[in-house]
Structure 1
Amino acid sequence: MSRLIRALLVGALLASVPAQAQAYRIETFSEGLEHPWSLAFLPDGRILVTERVGRLRIVEADGSLDPDPVAGLPEIFVAAQAGLMEVALDPDYVSNRWLYLSYAHGTTQANNTRLARARLVDDELRDFEVLFTAQPLKAGASHYGGRIAFLADKTLVLTLGDGFDWREEAQNPGNHLGKIVRLNRDGSVPADNPLVGQTGAAAEIYSLGHRNVQGIVFDAEAGRLYSHEHGPRGGDELNLIEAGTNYGWPLATFGIDYTGARVSPYTELPGLTQPLLHWTPSVAPASLTQYRGALFPDWQGDLFAATLAERSVRRVRLHEGMLAGEEILFEELGERIRDVRAGPDGALYLLTDNADGRLLRVVPGD
């Protein structure tokens, strides 16, 4: 275990910083979305929103939903957890207009997560390019990961899942199941990826031993990459991601199988990195963001994890680089929260995972 992770764990155990209550108000900013999954803020004040059912939508700056989906999407495999997932803007979007999409590609018997990019021009996608398809293709419609983050060098990381029925493959460096991969923005492999040059290893791999990573955020000020992943019954994890590190699934976990059987008798093993914290019973974390806005000074630098099962947002407090406790927010909504994002206006934005989903805006209370 690295010295940095040990320091963070010590901070989590001390939890010495008292929680700061912050008054807030939740507004419905837009509605009429079908199982929205991800959002991205355009420079002109509009917001892009993906719908898992295979549509990319535009929410105008005033909150109105453009009735026509963005044109130019590819064919997407939609079933159960499969569909259109992340939308993320290139770090140089203002000059190059590239946006990135993750989605399930293939058929019921042969599918996996795909990454592509395109340019948004006159509200349609142009110059569409497939950059990466996770291998192997597998049957079923579960555990795709799909979240994207950009690192300090502007390379991107893409989270992936273990495909549910293939959990042992999360320990196999020869494929992409249960991994986080790192790519250049054109889809090529960075020469300094940790497994480059290793015989039989997938060169795209950045970290391994994951179950279903659906939250990732890069703390640019501290240079740290955080992610969270779904456990089975219990054992949801928040991790500090370091290149080449093995996070243990399914050899070590705090969760048990849905049947009630043990996944593993171990919660830790030599050579496997422990989570910063785990949620047992499961909260089902679905998205992760870091707050750096001005509207909520008490939230500055903290992590926020959207949850599906708990129907909340978990605020994970950070103090001088160490975990310092948690706060459960927005339970009063009683809704599955699929995405949470810190907006450029300093508000916190939420997507509710419903057939009639909403985009919510959290601002300071009176």
Structure 2
Amino acid sequence: MKKNTLQYLSVFSFLFFGCQAQVKSNDIPIKEEIKTYTLETVASGIAVPWGMTWLPDGTLLITEKSGKLYAVKDSVKTEIKNVPKVYSRGQGGLLDIALHPNYAKNGWIYITYSSEEGEGNGAHTKLIRAKIIDGSLAQIESIYLATPKTTKAHHFGSRIVFDNDGYLYFSVGERGDHFVNPQDIKRDGGKIYRLNDDGSIPKDNPFVGQAGAKEAIYSYGHRNPQGMAKNPVTGEIWAHEHGPQGGDEINIVKKGANYGWPVVTYGIDYDGTTISTEKEKPGIEKPIFYWLPSIAPSGMTFVTSDRYPDWKGHLLVGSLKFQYLELLKLKGSEVIDRQKIATDIGRLRNVVQGPDGYIYIAVEGKGILKIIPN
């Protein structure tokens, strides 16, 4: 009787929840690396490479956290001038970079960085757009400036992604004020934002018209999202974020959704104290995957290239803490397997699939490396 009941419940759960991924942690054992590739250095002499994108002519643009923007073409690295001053302290600096979907027509490039602009001391995350003219940033426009400034040196975010409808998403960490910022839609920090390409607010953003709300917010309750990518099949925006000591998460970004930090978490604080005893709660989105222990994820890309048959259709995430690239095998939106790649490579800050179909990784102290399958 009990067996039949369990079978019935299992069938019911499949029928009712079949399209929803169940939360998976890394009780899925990670497989050791089987090396089927070589690494080629594309750009060296970059201490902390952060963001990467390519111009239509094949030029690779690279942000370096200290505040430098590089262009690499035919193995020659040059520095782009007139980059705004960054607050290069702790995790702050020059962060992500992305092209407008219609870059070939309008020339806009989007950049996030830690900005000292505004009253008081410290900095907060800022989004700008600009054009490259004669080797310099020009026509710089302010798109969004998170406030207020703080002297805390961590959790700036930040990644930039455009969706299929041309909306711009970018992430901002909660700046270390986790009991104040992430759950308050009247405050910046601990959020993923959605804007029109000129910085105006889409009329259907979830908090438009709410008194005092930051209307650019699309989702909230985040800790420090440093990876974001568009799912090439569904068009959904996926994001991962650093947990505390344990509980890094991958989430699918949904309109108006609360992702729980610090009300729910799979981790504890760095001093061993409890942040929350809750791991899930009604009204709070569950992650589709979380890591215990934390890997300190940074950078994320979906593999669509035929150059990597075993990786195609799956997800790559960099690990700062354990210094490898992690391949997450997917079945829909469910993580079903894990494997190490580029073991002991160094603090892996970013991973991007280039327009040539190759995977490029940004490694602190080494620069940009291209993964070439054997």
Same topology, TM > 0.5? yes
CA distance in 2, matches of 1:13, 1:5: 21
From 96, 106, 115, the counterpart of 1:86? 96
Identify if the C-alpha distance between structure 1 residues 33 and 339 changes in structure 2 by more than 3 Å, giving closer, same or farther.
same
Cα pair 1:26 1:360 within 8 Å, conserved: yes
From 329, 338, 347, the counterpart of 2:349? 338
Alignment of 1:110-125 (within 5 A): 110-125=122-137
Matched AA of 1:347: Y
Alignment match, 1:101 = 111
Alignment match, 2:310 = 298
> How far does residue 131 in structure 1 lie from its aligned partner after superposition?
0.7
> How far does residue 136 in structure 1 lie from its aligned partner after superposition?
2.3
Answering whether residue 195 of structure 2 is matched by residue 183 of structure 1, we say: yes
SS in 1 for 2:21: helix
Alignment match, 1:218 = 230
Bigger shift: 223-232 or 315-324? Answer: 315-324
Cα pair 1:189 1:203 within 8 Å, conserved: yes
CA distance in 1, matches of 2:17, 2:350: 28
Matched AA of 2:242: H
> Once superposed, which parts of structure 1, at least 4 consecutive aligned residues long, lie more than 4 Å away?
3-6, 10-15, 18-22
From 134, 150, 160, the counterpart of 1:138? 150
Cα pair 1:22 1:298 within 8 Å, conserved: no
Identify if the C-alpha distance between structure 1 residues 304 and 254 changes in structure 2 by more than 3 Å, giving closer, same or farther.
same
> How far does residue 169 in structure 1 lie from its aligned partner after superposition?
1.6
Cα pair 1:167 1:178 within 8 Å, conserved: no
SS in 2 for 1:143: coil
> How far does residue 246 in structure 1 lie from its aligned partner after superposition?
0.3
> How far does residue 13 in structure 1 lie from its aligned partner after superposition?
10
Alignment match, 1:349 = 360
CA distance in 2, matches of 1:170, 1:188: 22
Identify if the C-alpha distance between structure 1 residues 86 and 14 changes in structure 2 by more than 3 Å, giving closer, same or farther.
closer
Number of aligned pairs?
355
Alignment match, 2:9 = none
Answering whether residue 65 of structure 2 is matched by residue 65 of structure 1, we say: no
CA-atom RMSD in angstroms: 2.2
CA distance in 1, matches of 2:186, 2:18: 27
Matched AA of 2:364: D
Alignment match, 2:271 = 259
From 356, 359, 364, the counterpart of 2:368? 359
Give the percent of matched residue pairs that are identical in Structure 1 and Structure 2. Answer: 36
> How far does residue 44 in structure 1 lie from its aligned partner after superposition?
0.9
> How far does residue 168 in structure 1 lie from its aligned partner after superposition?
3.2
Structure 2: 5+ residue runs without aligned partners? 1-15
> How far does residue 332 in structure 1 lie from its aligned partner after superposition?
3.8
Identify if the C-alpha distance between structure 1 residues 28 and 300 changes in structure 2 by more than 3 Å, giving closer, same or farther.
same
Q: Find the structure with the greater CA-based Rg.
A: 2
Cα pair 2:25 2:291 within 8 Å, conserved: no
Answering whether residue 167 of structure 2 is matched by residue 155 of structure 1, we say: yes
Alignment of 1:186-205 (within 5 A): 186-205=198-217
CA distance in 1, matches of 2:75, 2:220: 39
CA distance in 2, matches of 1:140, 1:164: 7
Cα pair 1:54 1:76 within 8 Å, conserved: yes
Cα pair 1:43 1:94 within 8 Å, conserved: yes
Alignment of 1:28-67 (within 5 A): 28-60=41-73, 62-66=74-78
Identify if the C-alpha distance between structure 1 residues 320 and 171 changes in structure 2 by more than 3 Å, giving closer, same or farther.
closer
Bigger shift: 43-52 or 69-78? Answer: 69-78
Identify if the C-alpha distance between structure 1 residues 296 and 88 changes in structure 2 by more than 3 Å, giving closer, same or farther.
same
- Structure 1 length-normalised TM: 0.92
Structure 1: 5+ residue runs without aligned partners? none
Bigger shift: 118-127 or 202-211? Answer: 118-127
> How far does residue 346 in structure 1 lie from its aligned partner after superposition?
1.4
CA distance in 1, matches of 2:136, 2:336: 44
> How far does residue 316 in structure 1 lie from its aligned partner after superposition?
1.3
> How far does residue 8 in structure 1 lie from its aligned partner after superposition?
2.0
Cα pair 2:188 2:214 within 8 Å, conserved: yes
Cα pair 2:61 2:72 within 8 Å, conserved: yes
> How far does residue 134 in structure 1 lie from its aligned partner after superposition?
0.8
Matched AA of 2:159: R
SS in 2 for 1:180: strand
Cα pair 2:156 2:174 within 8 Å, conserved: yes
CA distance in 2, matches of 1:285, 1:329: 14
Alignment match, 1:234 = 246
Cα pair 1:5 1:276 within 8 Å, conserved: no
Cα pair 1:317 1:325 within 8 Å, conserved: yes
